[in-house]
A and B are shown apart, each in its own frame.
Chain A
């Protein structure tokens, strides 16, 4: 049996850890609330954007357009949104796995635009081609950040450097459920079932300027808004994941502490009993 001092020492070190995890949990709870409010406020914009773009594409049909056709390049650009910090359970590695374990993608064909230092480190370690991105923006993303990224990617797409653009992020369903998601940004694909519900107004929609020109202007906005939406959701998910991880850590620490307390008390009782026996035995020997 471990000595009383060892047990006491271990217990106090676990208590110290527990205090840290508890504090981290509180911090991420507050951050989560703010991030979730932001994500919800911006959701309306994306829903609208998505519906409008879908209804436009549906009407335009199979028009020849540079944003609707896959480029000649084999290269796929993937924007990977992770956190800048760890201690968030599987949050970072789940997103990374979407890319590293993708069944069809070869390492040489993928260009990673890593937002978040954790993701960047992983992909560099695995030997992917990683483009520099400003990772600070994942702390508190603003729309302008998404605009810069979209601009850069669209330029590369237009120049034929990349043939497809994908987005890997963690979708925020609710506080406890975050789903790693891979989304294809370009070329734009219309999902067949969408748009069916509103056959009325979209059937006679006019465009000013003409369809193709309108697409030229709307699709960059569409890409930007998707990136921005993903950033907002990812921030909320990161804090949610960290909150959960820290909650688990705190309750694990609690369990260990109660276990150690029991052991400590038992050892203490054992040592008292032993001392008593020794005293009595000594007294009897003298008497």
Chain B
């Protein structure tokens, strides 16, 4: 198991163990930009931003929409504590499209009481969902 080309990736949500396997690489979006993690990474804790999670396994690739949480990266292990994460098959395209339009509308017609940060996060989430499906 402990070979040099892979590390243990665990993705935990409040409701379940979302994913657990030996992987070669994982890529996702953080507050500091997109990062790709290979085995032997420097220990680091990062905050997740809505985006696509790409998992490279020896047999193939997997993608998911990762929306919120944070990740603890260690040389031989990566733990992602995800508040919201979905496999592509769990995403409702029409709902995501609708959410995207709603968020864009809200950002365009910004009034004093519009919560900009919230609308932006909603937009990012919707975009991530739609991208994962492509």
Contacts and interface: CB of A to CB of B under 8 A. Distances in A.
A49 B45 CA distance: 12
B94 interface: no
Interface string A177-215: 000000000000000000000000100111111000010
Nearest to B76: A201
- How many A residues touch the partner, as a band? 20 to 34
Contacts of B70: 52, 214, 217-218, 221
Contacts, number: 67
Interface stretch (A11-19, A38-46, A158-166, A234-242): A38-46
Interface string A42-56: 101100110010001
B43 interface: yes
Contacts of B83: 143, 147, 221, 224
Nearest to B12: A45
Interface string A111-144: 0000000000000000000000000000000010
Given A143-B83, A225-B14, A206 B44 contact: yes
Of B30, B45, B47, most A-chain CB atoms within 10 Å:
B45
Given A42-B14, A42-B15, A48 B79 contact: yes
Contacts of A221: 68-70, 81, 83
Interface residues of B, number: 23
Interface in B74-114: 74, 79, 81, 83
Given A52-B45, A201-B43, A45 B13 contact: yes
Contact of A208 (B15, B44, B79): B44
A82 B17 CA distance: 28
Given A52-B81, A221-B83, A209 B14 contact: no
B43 A41 contact: no
A225 B84 CA distance: 13
A56 B14 contact: no
Contact of B43 (A204, A217, A218): A204
A45 B85 CA distance: 14
B31 interface: yes
Interface of B: 12-17, 30-32, 42-47, 68-70, 72, 74, 79, 81, 83
Query: Which 4 A-B residue pairs are closest in the complex by CB-CB distance?
Result: A206-B44, A143-B14, A205-B43, A208-B46
